[in-house]
Structure 1
Amino acid sequence: MTEYPATAMPGEGVAHFAAAATRLAAGALAVQPGFDAPGGLRSAGMLRAVAEGQVEAADAFTGALAGETPIYQLSALPFLTGSAADTARLLAAARAAYVAALGARGLALLYATPWPASGIWSRNALPDADSLRGLRIRTYDAVSTEVLREAGAAPVQISFADAMPRLRAGALDAVLSSGDGGAGARLWEILPHFTVIDYASPLSLAFCRAAALAELPPPARAAVEQAGQETEARQFAAITTRLTENEARMRANGVTIATSPALRDALARAAAPVVAAWTSRAGEEGARVLAAYRAGG
């Protein structure tokens, strides 16, 4: 399950995984996908929900999990990755750390999903850094909240599902999001401007309870593991054309897409001390992963 729509990247991953696992298990297992935060479950609560057996498996946005351990924040750090290839390299450098963090909760990694780069959806154009002053903007994790606050905005950290009612009520002016797939379709109904800033190209992680996976009959367990591998490969293949597809859909639906170098520069300046603070919190593990990622560039 995921808190995002079926046509967002995580939603497509959940659907693909469910179909692949069911097919490969050949009757030994049936996996049902869930979208749009079924039961009200958001990414931030998914580690506990899966560990406690409330749901069998979940796909969570990693930035929302950062309160658990700093490594989950990694892929959502601002201006660290600039392409899908960068995101793949970062995942390769961090995979062992993700597996260890999940394992500490009794969870097993199934696959990862890359997101298109985050930008800012807004009611009005954002031509310069002054446009951020007092901007009531939805942010998706603690770091993006700090960065936008440092830049002069009035950020509110809430899940995507919770942002939509506030937007419709006029309580928000903007949303930090890629607006991918169905998420974008909802946003352009209210926010007709999208500013490209390439803030981050983060990951979602799908996981299940490790004990439950181990208890499956060997053919079913192999099917789940193979489905995870197939899904991750599918997701990274899909992301290579996703930005172009998203842009075409946005323009076709009346969204004005713009760049703002001055705004991006202001956010990058605001991000520098926030990223430095994360690096300190992440300690040796974070430094090791970042060094491996940068060495691969």
Structure 2
Amino acid sequence: MPTPFGDRNQPTQIAYDFAEDVQNLTNGDINILVKSNGRALPHLAIPAAVMSGKVVAGEFLLGLLDKKDSVFQHDIIPLLANNYKDAQLLWQASKNNTEKQLNKLGLHYLYVVPWTPYSFFSTQEVTRVSDFNGLSIRTFNNTVTALIKNLDAKPVQLPFAEIQSAFSEGKLNGRFTSLSVGEDTKIWTYAPYLNDLRLWIPKQVVVMNKAFFDSLDVKTQKAIETAAAKAERNGWTQTQERVETDLAALKDGGVFYKEPSEKLLKELEKMKQRMTQEWINQNPTQNGGIYRAYQDAQKQALKAQ
């Protein structure tokens, strides 16, 4: 089971726990070997490897599949769900359609783990929308590419392993990434300016090759699903606990920290509205239904307070 990030990141730690639980619950009949930090496969190669059966299971950013179906874009629309309460409501609204599309790709859904919020790290201070103009910013899918272009910046697609060297060579000026990845990679050594935008809380998804999962007996399937449910519960709880500790570590490391201005957030809100509508327009029945269900859930949550 390849996973792209290092052992200190919460999704990877939960993957190890998941593998141990599967082994225990199946009495050793199923053993999952987690290969972290991109050692087995680069991040971008993991989805296709699981689809083809090259590997039985894998973990990757859900939004990497946004070319396959627009449902996966919900995960990385800026400001659509940028706190954990809303992120959970959005996931509940989109989960059924997401699983359906994963099945069509030959992937059996196991669980998701949210990241700590994605903010913007750069080689220079960014305080206004105009400060993004002309910056070379790392992208990893169509949705992020659209955001970067909306900011009048230049999207640059690079493998995860090449990011730090690209900064040192001047090929990159900025990147959107989670507080956890920033802390883990000592981002202050190559992109020391943090504008804590908290644009989205994307999810790592763990999937299994569907043909392989379907070939297992019911008892084994249930054992894997039990371990997966526990992993997802822990993911939502434990990741939230990392936000403040990761932020403190970034500041201790030497990051120049800045909270976004009200003006900058207003400009980004306009982009959110435009990108949300563009997402809905791609599949009004599916995506529009998800958005309406999400809005309804938000209203119910407010009433319950």
Scaled by the length of structure 1, the TM-score of the pair is: 0.92
Distance 1:266 1:60 in 2: 30
Please name the residue that 2:38 is paired with. 37
1:255-270 equivalences in 2 (<5 Å) = 255-261=255-261, 262-270=263-271
Distance 2:145 2:106 in 1: 29
Distance 2:90 2:141 in 1: 19
Amino acid across the alignment from 2:109: L
Instruction: Name the stretch that deviates more: 6-15 or 62-71.
Output: 6-15
SS at the partner of 1:99?
A: helix
Instruction: Report the alpha carbon displacement of residue 29 of structure 1 after superposing the two structures with TM.
Output: 1.6
SS at the partner of 1:73?
A: helix
Instruction: Report the alpha carbon displacement of residue 276 of structure 1 after superposing the two structures with TM.
Output: 1.9
Instruction: Report the alpha carbon displacement of residue 212 of structure 1 after superposing the two structures with TM.
Output: 1.0
1:268-287 equivalences in 2 (<5 Å) = 268-287=269-288
Q: Is the 8 A contact 1:51 1:105 kept in 2?
A: yes
Q: Is the 8 A contact 1:8 1:183 kept in 2?
A: no
SS at the partner of 1:283?
A: coil
1:268-296 superposed Cα distances (whole Å, 9 cap, x missing partner): 33343333222111321001111111101
Instruction: Report the alpha carbon displacement of residue 245 of structure 1 after superposing the two structures with TM.
Output: 1.3
1:146-186 superposed Cα distances (whole Å, 9 cap, x missing partner): 22222222222344334233123221111111141576434
Instruction: Report the alpha carbon displacement of residue 194 of structure 1 after superposing the two structures with TM.
Output: 1.0
Q: CA RMSD in A?
A: 1.9
Percent sequence identity is 21
Classify 1:120/1:161 alpha carbon distance in 2 versus 1 (closer, same or farther; 3 Å): same
Q: Is the 8 A contact 2:8 2:184 kept in 1?
A: no
Please name the residue that 2:206 is paired with. 206
Q: Is the 8 A contact 1:8 1:182 kept in 2?
A: no
Distance 2:241 2:229 in 1: 20
Classify 1:275/1:184 alpha carbon distance in 2 versus 1 (closer, same or farther; 3 Å): farther
Instruction: Report the alpha carbon displacement of residue 232 of structure 1 after superposing the two structures with TM.
Output: 0.3
Classify 1:168/1:19 alpha carbon distance in 2 versus 1 (closer, same or farther; 3 Å): farther
SS at the partner of 1:242?
A: helix
Please name the residue that 1:9 is paired with. 10
Aligned pair 1:119/2:119, yes or no? yes
Gaps of 5+ in 1: none
Amino acid across the alignment from 1:270: M
1:171-186 equivalences in 2 (<5 Å) = 171-181=171-181, 184-186=184-186
Q: Is the 8 A contact 1:113 1:204 kept in 2?
A: yes
Classify 1:238/1:24 alpha carbon distance in 2 versus 1 (closer, same or farther; 3 Å): same
Gaps of 5+ in 2: 299-305
Classify 1:267/1:161 alpha carbon distance in 2 versus 1 (closer, same or farther; 3 Å): farther
Instruction: Name the stretch that deviates more: 256-265 or 51-60.
Output: 256-265
Distance 1:62 1:182 in 2: 19
Scaled by the length of structure 2, the TM-score of the pair is: 0.90
Classify 1:133/1:184 alpha carbon distance in 2 versus 1 (closer, same or farther; 3 Å): farther
Amino acid across the alignment from 1:210: K
Amino acid across the alignment from 1:86: D
Amino acid across the alignment from 2:161: A
